Amino acid sequence: VCVRLRRPSPLDERLQEIAAFLASSTPVHSVAFVSLAEAAAGEAVAAIWKGSLPRPSRRTLTDVAETAASVDAFEGGTRVRLFPVSRPGAEVVGAVMAPLEILGDPSVNDLLHSLAALVGFAHAERAEPPIGERGAAPPPLAPPAALEEPLAAVVGTSLVVQNLKASLQRVASARAPILLVGEVGTGKTLIAETLHALSPRRPRPLVRIAATASTAAALEEDLLGVGGAGDRRRRTGRLFEADGGTLLIEEVGDLPPATQALLYRLLEAREVVAPGGRSVPLDIRVIGTASRPLTRAVEDGAFRDDLYFRLSSLTLRLPTLGDRKEDIPALIDAFAERHGGPPADRFDVEAINALLHYGYPGNVRELENEVRRLAAQVGAGSVTLRDLDAKFSEERLELALTESDDLKEIVEKVERQVIERVMRKVRGNQSLGARLLNISRGSLIAKMKEYDVKDYRYLKRQE
């Protein structure tokens, strides 16, 4: 959402605060603003623009404008980094430039990202009259379509999915690495692709590597490339392909120690040692996925603690399908469109309720596999309980007496399972459920709350 201030002075005060911070930590003259169109936006950062840095070449500025991502360059004998400045929801209009030598501190680097965003707002304000001069305030602007379309791939309207989408929008533009933690089949790769599509790096590649796909030596060759004699063996590494874009590391916790050291250097110094021994600066946003928390691997010494703290600065935990069962009909429709299977309204009451009750150890991927199987067997036709895999129709009262000798625990477990079975049977009708259980409606509601029994009123009802 584009926020427009009524007066430019509060924004100028924030810019002055940033200038003061930079002045306390590094020479003020080390930061400069460059306008692509030589517009008046330079005034917005006049307090920190001393003009001592070399003006970047037109080619460098073109790279910033086309990629909408930070670019490292060698200008006038100085290694610099340029951070793109964009009007909210619009094109790149300039860049904030600083020498690489002052960006060793990640906080300074992140601060300059914030500065570039603020300058974008300043440029928009100076390009249009303040609200008070235009009359009535316009209605709030909707998010740009470019931001809405990637989120459409994340199917569902449950609360946990809405919260996840909000988190994706908040962190998509950050340069900091992101760790995605979720069980197998929760859609970690999809979320990583959505983050890349929402970020300013979307014009650049999203490069995927799997930590367990090859040996340690082969993985390092894949990342850094091969610098053998002659062109026959020479191959560009995946890290250099990802420069300016995003690197997705699947199951990052399984990286071998040598690759962990390489990744730590990339995150800490933003450079790698290429074949031949030369250091190469890289601008890469790293996204790691993990099917289990990495803390145990850190405790066991299998994963570097310093790498963990750098990688987990932004951590998103993905919900299981069991946490969002109300999204199952929408997911079925999405998978049916993808695989040519039956949509949710072609499932009868027993079939859809069986799908809603199942535990899904394989999460969304397991549901998609079932829809793909149904597409091969029934096409887009009607689906009954008999058409589903047998695991969906098995209703067992799992009372594992060997797991506990605590009578109270056993009784509570049986009571919860009986209440869940009855409430599914009556499709969430609490009055009818209480009569079947021979208890009062108030007692049923209290026990449902005590045992955290889901409200089954969202189950499909007989027409």
Residue 435, domain CATH: 1.10.10
Query: Is the pLDDT reported for residue 88 higher than 90?
Result: no
Q: Does one domain contain both 111 and 258?
A: no
Nearest alpha-carbon partner for 83 in 122, 110, 106, 45:
110
The predicted pLDDT at position 276 comes to: 76
155: left (phi over 0), alpha (psi -120 to 50) or beta: beta
Q: Does one domain contain both 203 and 127?
A: no
pLDDT, mean of residues 84-96: 67
Is residue 409 within 8 A of residue 403, CB to CB? The reply is: no
The predicted pLDDT at position 141 comes to: 33
Q: Does one domain contain both 259 and 297?
A: yes
Which are the contacts of 225, defined by CB distance < 8 A and separation ≥ 6?
A: 234, 235, 236, 237, 238, 240, 274, 275
Q: Is residue 2 part of a domain?
A: no
Q: Does one domain contain both 258 and 329?
A: no
Q: How far apart are CA 47 and CA 45, in angstroms?
A: 5
Nearest alpha-carbon partner for 164 in 287, 319, 329:
319
- Alpha helices per DSSP H over 135-270: 145-151, 159-171, 188-198, 216-224, 238-241, 257-269
Is residue 327 within 8 A of residue 361, CB to CB? The reply is: no
Q: Which of 81-90, 131-140, 310-319, 349-358 has the highest mean pLDDT?
A: 310-319
pLDDT band at 43 (very low <50, low <70, confident <90, very high): very low
Q: Is residue 141 part of a domain?
A: no
pLDDT, mean of residues 431-440: 87
Nearest alpha-carbon partner for 260 in 291, 299, 288, 232:
288
**CB-side neighbour CA atoms (13 Å) of 340:** 5
Long-range pairs for 225-231: beta carbons < 8 A, 24 or more residues apart: 225/274, 225/275, 226/275, 227/274, 227/275, 227/276
The predicted pLDDT at position 438 comes to: 86
The predicted pLDDT at position 180 comes to: 95
Phi first, then psi, for residue 425 (nearest 5°) are -65, -40
Q: What percent of the chain has pLDDT over 70?
A: 68
Q: Is residue 333 part of a domain?
A: yes
Query: Is the pLDDT reported for residue 154 higher than 90?
Result: yes
User: Residue 375 is part of a domain; what is its CATH number?
Assistant: 1.10.8.60
pLDDT, mean of residues 18-47: 45
The predicted pLDDT at position 110 comes to: 63
Q: Is residue 139 part of a domain?
A: no
Q: Does one domain contain both 337 and 415?
A: no
The predicted pLDDT at position 375 comes to: 92
Structural domain that includes position 86: 9-134
Q: How far apart are CA 88 and CA 117, in angstroms?
A: 8
Mean pLDDT of the chain: 75
Name which of 80-84, 87-91, 152-156 the model is least confident about: 87-91
Q: How far apart are CA 330 and CA 333, in angstroms?
A: 5
The predicted pLDDT at position 135 comes to: 35
Q: Does one domain contain both 130 and 235?
A: no
Query: Is the pLDDT reported for residue 22 higher than 70?
Result: no
Q: What percent of the chain has pLDDT over 90?
A: 25
More confident residue, 352 or 462: 352
The predicted pLDDT at position 126 comes to: 38
State the pTM of this model: 0.56
Per-residue tokens: 343: 């949509």
pLDDT, mean of residues 52-62: 72
Neighbouring-strand partners of residue 207: 247
pLDDT, mean of residues 396-425: 67
The predicted pLDDT at position 12 comes to: 46
The predicted pLDDT at position 6 comes to: 30
Q: Is residue 154 part of a domain?
A: yes
Q: Does one domain contain both 292 and 174?
A: yes
Name which of 74-78, 229-233, 344-348 the model is least confident about: 229-233
Q: How far apart are CA 162 and CA 166, in angstroms?
A: 6
Q: Does one domain contain both 180 and 208?
A: yes
The predicted pLDDT at position 234 comes to: 54
Q: Does one domain contain both 129 and 44?
A: yes
User: Residue 192 is part of a domain; what is its CATH number?
Assistant: 3.40.50.300
pLDDT band at 113 (very low <50, low <70, confident <90, very high): low
Domain termination site, one of 302, 317, 332: 317
CA distances from 192 to 174, 237, 260, 418 (A): 14, 21, 20, 40
Q: Does one domain contain both 313 and 328?
A: no
User: Residue 66 is part of a domain; what is its CATH number?
Assistant: 3.30.450
The count of domains in the chain is 4
Query: Is the pLDDT reported for residue 302 higher than 50?
Result: yes
Query: Is the pLDDT reported for residue 429 higher than 50?
Result: yes
Query: Is the pLDDT reported for residue 424 higher than 50?
Result: yes
DSSP for 121-162?
Answer: HHHHHHHS--HHHHSSPPPPPPPPHHHHHHHTTS---SHHHH
pLDDT, mean of residues 176-185: 93
The predicted pLDDT at position 4 comes to: 28
Q: Is residue 463 part of a domain?
A: no
Q: Does one domain contain both 345 and 249?
A: no
Q: Does one domain contain both 113 and 216?
A: no
Domain termination site, one of 107, 134, 161: 134
Enter the DSSP assignment of 49: -
The predicted pLDDT at position 370 comes to: 94
Domain termination site, one of 281, 301, 317: 317
Is residue 56 within 8 A of residue 34, CB to CB? The reply is: yes
The predicted pLDDT at position 179 comes to: 94
Q: Is residue 66 part of a domain?
A: yes
Q: Is residue 157 part of a domain?
A: yes
H helix or E strand, kind and range, residue 425: helix 407-425
Radius of gyration of the chain (CA): 28
Is residue 50 within 8 A of residue 28, CB to CB? The reply is: yes
More confident residue, 23 or 194: 194
